[in-house]
Structure 1
Amino acid sequence: MSQLSAAQSTALASVTARAAEHSDWCATIFSYGETAWREYRSCAWYVEKLRAEGFDVEEGSAGMPTAFCATWSNGPESAGAPVIGMYAEYDAVPGNCQAASTRREPREGLGYQAGGHTDPHSGLGIAGLAGLLATKAAMEKHGIKGGLRFTGEPAEKVRGSKPIHAAKGYYDGLAAILSFHPFYMLPMCNTVRWNTHCGAAYAMIYRFICDEPQNWGAHDGAPIPQSHSAVRAPGANDALNLMFLTSKSLRDSMLPHQGGWSISEAILTAGQATADNLPAGLAEIQYMMRVPTLAMAEAVTAALDRNAEHAAAMTGCRVERHWVCKSRPGLANHAIANVVWEAMQATGAPAWGEAAKDIAREIQSGLGLSPMAEPFIPEMTRLITPQEAERILREDLPPSQANSTSDDYTDMTWHAPTARFYIARPALSAPKGYVYPSWVMNALGGIPETIDPMVQTAAGVLALSALRILEDAETRAAMWAEFETRRAAAPIPPLCDYDPPIHFRWPEYVTTPRGRDWWIPSTMPGA
């Protein structure tokens, strides 16, 4: 990379100077462990922090209670001044509650079924905030005109907020968007995506409702109308069970066998009948599909719709389909990818010191393994060029497949030039044939000594990239020329035609006479 500008040097110094704060912030969000659409404390923390740092913040952006949009400009806004977009994610995953500890244990007062950070979005969001604040500090000190927009993106694990923000215009008017994600697996480790961006994702909830059970198989043979001996509909639980099993058995027939697609399901509600022979009145199941193309997503949706209609008809129910997500496949942009790659070369890969290695060795020892001299996987401390990462990624994909896997940052790529980059998160080397339990990765994402290097490095890359774009009009022009060419080749407008799915029974923390608890009891009776 060419020599850093004075503003970029200021930004890196700011990231370093505030390292202790970043560490505390990351630990705070990790401790909340709030899951999709229910990130109340996490969102409130970001809103308060951003306002304290001089940002104007819209709470509940696009009708999502746990989303926000923060804006700042250096002086009065002027026509044509570039605005850079960054963002935070902060949702955790149910069933992954883990303390920032070297042994398996839930966070205090909770059980393992509560929410916990897996990716970890706690580090992702704080890296975004740290990079944002470092960029702001440099803009103020060096008089750089322009603005910053920072969105709070809930429910990423169900691809929730970004398609909605996109459709409501929150990414419009940006000069560029910078998208960071923690990762450790080759080839997407300490690199920038080049050609093959993530694909489409659809998610929906099928709600089965049995509101007239007496009319299923009705006849005149019952001695007493409405008696318990009368024939009644099987009900919503049976509908859900039929939908679950039928769709799972048909999974291989729903799509042609092309690389990088998956379908998964989650049961949101079941039951509703508490005694006797009354049929369940309500049951809900969510499906999430990750596919390379929208045509494939539509094909799966049609198959699931048919399955749902038949399951409802067989069980005396009616069925409703509610959208959770419809996100577009991503657009590449080499011009902005090069900007971020140069920033990554300037910062270098993250490095883990002896304190972090001692923690890693303690985990290995506790699992009955021999502690390693170098306990982290070597790829964590190496950079890989975007072109080499692309070459490795393409080895397992058909030549005709343009996108692979999914992530909802892709909706941003249709509104401004977007770079998607990855900084290594901590991961342990394993003896041949050994697989670490999942709690290990979750814990490493919460222990300051192991997660802070990723946060600091990603913050530096974000700030250097943002300032390069703000200071270099020629680079901005090249990014936009490429963006407009690629978008015009096969335009896809926002797909979101639904309201935020915030009213469903998403897992969450609740306050009861017993205190604060997870919606599944934290501990079993007698535990």
Structure 2
Amino acid sequence: MATAAAETAISHIDHHRGDLSQWTRTIFEYGETAWREYQSADWYVQLLRGEGFDVEVGSGGMPTAFCAHWTNKAGTNATSPIIGMYAEYDAVPGNCQNASTRQEPRPGLNVHAGGHTDPHSALGISSLGGLLATKAAMERHGMAGTLRFTGEPAEKVRGSKPIHAAKGYYDGLAGMISFHPFYMLPMCNTVRWDTHCGAAYSMIYRFVCDQPELWGRSDGAPIPQSHSAIRAPGANDALMMMYMTSKSLRDSMLPHQGGWSISEAILTAGQATADNLPAGLAEIQYMIRVPTIAMAEQVAAALDRNAEHAAALSGCRMERHWVCKSRPGLANHAMAEITWEALSSVGAPRWDERAKALAREIQANVGLEAMDEPFLEECERLIEPQVAEAILRQDLPPSQKNSTSDDYTDMSWHAPTARFYVARPALKAPKGFVYPGWVMNALGGMPETIDPMVNVAARTVALAALRLLEDGSARDRAMDEFIRRTGGGIGGSEWIAPLCDYRPPIEFRWPEYVSTQRGREWCIPNEHEEQRR
């Protein structure tokens, strides 16, 4: 049964529906990528301060992170609950898509710039909408408690949450509410039950060729200054040896059981105009997504060996810098039930004729016959957590406890945590057809198609938060389960401590927008090659 506070929260979201839509589009247009979300983070900070929150900027030593608090003075004391929520707002390089029904980058940019794929633009505003609705209900009904809202940059490299966790930003919470737009079936309009996301390690191997003039010289004499003389292979060769040897060993680095992946990205060093000199610096980033920490350690050890040998062969020294070390997730059925009840009362999102018309236009633009009902049926119906769990586990061995990847998992070791999904707009496809990637990106930016998800998610966040604030017995059940699963809570016998033993990796050459005499652009010039000829 809905409480008066719940009705106030829902009314608040209804009243601010237009604001949520506009805010979602704002973050979508920023399209800033990992560790460089300057405008996006500042936007959140200014809005939250305007709403009366105390905001710490640069939390955890991360310039684009923040931590906001608001406490209702009415009746709040040291034992009043603290409820956690958060925003993500990083985009992905190479996915710059306009909010339109055809493939085109956002105005003034090229396709190589950042764009929202998941979309975190809508994820963050959904949680923000739930946060502000909860605050409004607490104020109107005199509810005691504190709201904590963290800004989490660089989720795509699982960057901020291991750092926030290690520095205590999730400690003391009665519950953490984690939302993500659905990205795989059956996790659509449901809540995770037992099988939470797994562990992940990410690191950058930096190869530095400090003294190329001494390479290969047994007599200690310097290499003659000649284009035809012997020269050190240098950092680029080290990187390529690392890249190829790691690819060739990939099939042998892990047991063939469970879901796991290793992916890499080459970070550029801007050496294109120095072809006659050995590269002095080259960097390659790896992301390891595995069910267990032991598997991550196994892969990391193999990559370390490859990097050491590649450096030795090419006249370089090697440095390893951590991007993330995150733990697998911890289930909490009590929190899942609280959140599922909230989602069930709200219902699945629905798309109206305006949204369907845009979807049909996209279908026509990719060469398909437009469908009367273009959206996946799963997007407009709920699936019970236990049912989704059973489907998810059909492809997993019984021994595998965690699957796929997301860094909310670090939160789950510090507070009872629920992870829920609401359908983002996804289109039906004829058998054998796959939509190009820009389609999902565009659907995440058009108000008609993304707003239904934002509104359902915001309502669910608010109702789950209010349940934790109002229902002490439900709150106690969640905490009791957390204590039991960790063997005594934080520091308990079954608790996994934070793995973060590194500084925020903010100094690397992460791609970003720059302003030059040519104007504001991505790291690749905006003009197409044919336009410059």
Mark yes or no: TM-score above 0.5.
Answer: yes
Residue 322 of structure 1 corresponds to which residue in structure 2? 321
The partner residue of 2:18 within 17, 20, 26 is 20
Segments of 5+ residues of structure 2 without an aligned counterpart are 488-492
Residue 409 of structure 2 corresponds to which residue in structure 1? 410
User: CA offset at residue 214 of structure 1?
Assistant: 1.6
Aligned length: 525
Residue 511 of structure 1 corresponds to which residue in structure 2? 515
Alpha-carbon distance in 1 for matches of 2:419, 2:470: 20
Structure 1 vs Structure 2 CA RMSD: 1.3
CA spacing shift, 1:312–1:472, aligned 2, 3 Å = same
Residue 492 of structure 1 corresponds to which residue in structure 2? 496
The within-5 A match list for 1:185-334 is 185-220=184-219, 225-270=224-269, 272=271, 274-275=273-274, 277-334=276-333
Instruction: Name the stretch that deviates more: 462-471 or 209-218.
Output: 209-218
The within-5 A match list for 1:173-184 is 173-184=172-183
Alpha-carbon distance in 1 for matches of 2:28, 2:387: 33
Residue 361 of structure 2 corresponds to which residue in structure 1? 362
Q: Secondary structure at the match of 1:411?
A: helix
User: CA offset at residue 219 of structure 1?
Assistant: 3.8
Residue 133 of structure 2 corresponds to which residue in structure 1? 134
Task: Name the aligned partner's letter for residue 3 of structure 2.
Answer: S
The within-5 A match list for 1:411-490 is 411-488=410-487, 490=494
8 Å CA contact 1:237–1:271 kept in 2: the answer is no
Alpha-carbon distance in 2 for matches of 1:491, 1:158: 24
Task: Name the aligned partner's letter for residue 23 of structure 1.
Answer: S
The within-5 A match list for 1:55-94 is 55-75=53-73, 77-94=76-93
User: CA offset at residue 163 of structure 1?
Assistant: 0.3
Residue 47 of structure 1 corresponds to which residue in structure 2? 45
Instruction: Name the stretch that deviates more: 317-326 or 261-270.
Output: 261-270
The within-5 A match list for 1:318-397 is 318-397=317-396
8 Å CA contact 2:170–2:415 kept in 1: the answer is yes
8 Å CA contact 2:213–2:222 kept in 1: the answer is no
8 Å CA contact 1:120–1:445 kept in 2: the answer is yes
User: CA offset at residue 289 of structure 1?
Assistant: 0.7
Residue 490 of structure 2 corresponds to which residue in structure 1? none
Alpha-carbon distance in 1 for matches of 2:311, 2:79: 55
Alpha-carbon distance in 1 for matches of 2:275, 2:84: 56
The C-alpha deviation readout for 1:298-357, integer Å capped at 9, x for no partner, is 000000000000000110000000000000001000001000000011000011000000
The within-5 A match list for 1:140-151 is 140-151=139-150
CA spacing shift, 1:302–1:78, aligned 2, 3 Å = same
User: CA offset at residue 509 of structure 1?
Assistant: 0.2
Normalising by structure 2, we get a TM-score of 0.97
8 Å CA contact 1:214–1:226 kept in 2: the answer is no
CA spacing shift, 1:57–1:223, aligned 2, 3 Å = closer
8 Å CA contact 2:223–2:230 kept in 1: the answer is no
Residue 30 of structure 1 corresponds to which residue in structure 2? 28
Residue 99 of structure 1 corresponds to which residue in structure 2? 98
Alpha-carbon distance in 2 for matches of 1:191, 1:221: 67
8 Å CA contact 1:271–1:280 kept in 2: the answer is no
8 Å CA contact 1:362–1:371 kept in 2: the answer is yes
Q: Secondary structure at the match of 1:202?
A: strand
Residue 5 of structure 1 corresponds to which residue in structure 2? 3
CA spacing shift, 1:517–1:224, aligned 2, 3 Å = closer
Q: Secondary structure at the match of 1:340?
A: helix
CA spacing shift, 1:394–1:298, aligned 2, 3 Å = same
User: CA offset at residue 230 of structure 1?
Assistant: 3.9
Task: Name the aligned partner's letter for residue 490 of structure 1.
Answer: E
8 Å CA contact 1:214–1:231 kept in 2: the answer is no
Q: Secondary structure at the match of 2:529?
A: coil
User: CA offset at residue 47 of structure 1?
Assistant: 0.4
User: CA offset at residue 232 of structure 1?
Assistant: 2.1
User: CA offset at residue 487 of structure 1?
Assistant: 1.1
Alpha-carbon distance in 2 for matches of 1:354, 1:184: 23
Task: Name the aligned partner's letter for residue 347 of structure 1.
Answer: V
Instruction: Name the stretch that deviates more: 273-282 or 476-485.
Output: 273-282
The C-alpha deviation readout for 1:239-286, integer Å capped at 9, x for no partner, is 001111110111111100122210000001246363352100000000
8 Å CA contact 1:184–1:380 kept in 2: the answer is no
Alpha-carbon distance in 1 for matches of 2:91, 2:194: 29
8 Å CA contact 1:85–1:177 kept in 2: the answer is yes
Instruction: Name the stretch that deviates more: 31-40 or 210-219.
Output: 210-219
Give identity over the alignment, percent. 73
Q: Secondary structure at the match of 2:266?
A: strand
Normalising by structure 1, we get a TM-score of 0.98
Instruction: Name the stretch that deviates more: 21-30 or 76-85.
Output: 76-85
8 Å CA contact 1:222–1:230 kept in 2: the answer is no
Alpha-carbon distance in 2 for matches of 1:404, 1:270: 35
8 Å CA contact 1:222–1:229 kept in 2: the answer is no
Alpha-carbon distance in 2 for matches of 1:168, 1:220: 52
8 Å CA contact 1:184–1:427 kept in 2: the answer is no
Task: Name the aligned partner's letter for residue 15 of structure 1.
Answer: I
Task: Name the aligned partner's letter for residue 25 of structure 1.
Answer: W
User: CA offset at residue 525 of structure 1?
Assistant: 2.6
User: CA offset at residue 185 of structure 1?
Assistant: 2.8
The C-alpha deviation readout for 1:85-133, integer Å capped at 9, x for no partner, is 0000000000000000000000000000000000000000000100000
Instruction: Name the stretch that deviates more: 222-231 or 74-83.
Output: 222-231
8 Å CA contact 2:190–2:420 kept in 1: the answer is yes
Segments of 5+ residues of structure 1 without an aligned counterpart are none
Q: Secondary structure at the match of 1:7?
A: helix
CA spacing shift, 1:316–1:354, aligned 2, 3 Å = same
8 Å CA contact 2:213–2:223 kept in 1: the answer is no
CA spacing shift, 1:273–1:344, aligned 2, 3 Å = closer
User: CA offset at residue 223 of structure 1?
Assistant: 10
Alpha-carbon distance in 2 for matches of 1:249, 1:223: 36
1:501 equivalent to 2:505? Answer yes
Task: Name the aligned partner's letter for residue 125 of structure 2.
Answer: I
8 Å CA contact 1:444–1:450 kept in 2: the answer is yes
Alpha-carbon distance in 1 for matches of 2:427, 2:401: 32
Alpha-carbon distance in 2 for matches of 1:196, 1:524: 46
Q: Secondary structure at the match of 2:296?
A: helix
User: CA offset at residue 221 of structure 1?
Assistant: 10
Task: Name the aligned partner's letter for residue 504 of structure 1.
Answer: F
